[in-house]
Amino acid sequence: TRDRIVVIRNEHMVEDWNSIERLMGGRNNIVSGLNFPHDNSHEKNETEKFLSDGSRRALCQASCNDIYVYKSILRRGKNLKPEDVEESLAELRNICPKEADTVDREGCHDALPDIERKIKRDRVVLEEYSGKFI
């Protein structure tokens, strides 16, 4: 099985932070919306919100691998209840319905990047820079 991780979803930051706090034996509701600034955007007017259906579908298709990884992270979230995961998938489904319900990257046109090769390459650069292998 895959390792479980703790997850903080941007749209549910306060709730997720508190769930991690409880998971680690901390107090209930240590963070509230009043003392935890998490809105990193400004209010949008109607013209800023517009994205044509074709553009939205193209953006969703181009984000297929990212959406696949996002869903994997949600499902591995140790602090997320099944209904939390379903809530986030429902929110995703409102924007990218096809990709939200895609299983095992079916429909993704691009392969996932080979991150293992990148990690090895970066380690070599780091070794050359620091004189030791980490």
What confidence score (pLDDT) does residue 128 get?
65
Residue with tokens 């181009």: 62
Residue with tokens 């990212």: 66
Is the entire prediction scored with pTM above 0.75? no
- Rg over alpha carbons for the chain, rounded to the nearest Å, is 19
| DSSP H/E element including 15 | helix 13-23
Low-confidence residues of the chain, pLDDT below 50?
Answer: 1, 134
Q: Which of 18, 36, 13, 37 is nearest to 28 (CA)?
A: 18
What confidence score (pLDDT) does residue 132 get?
56
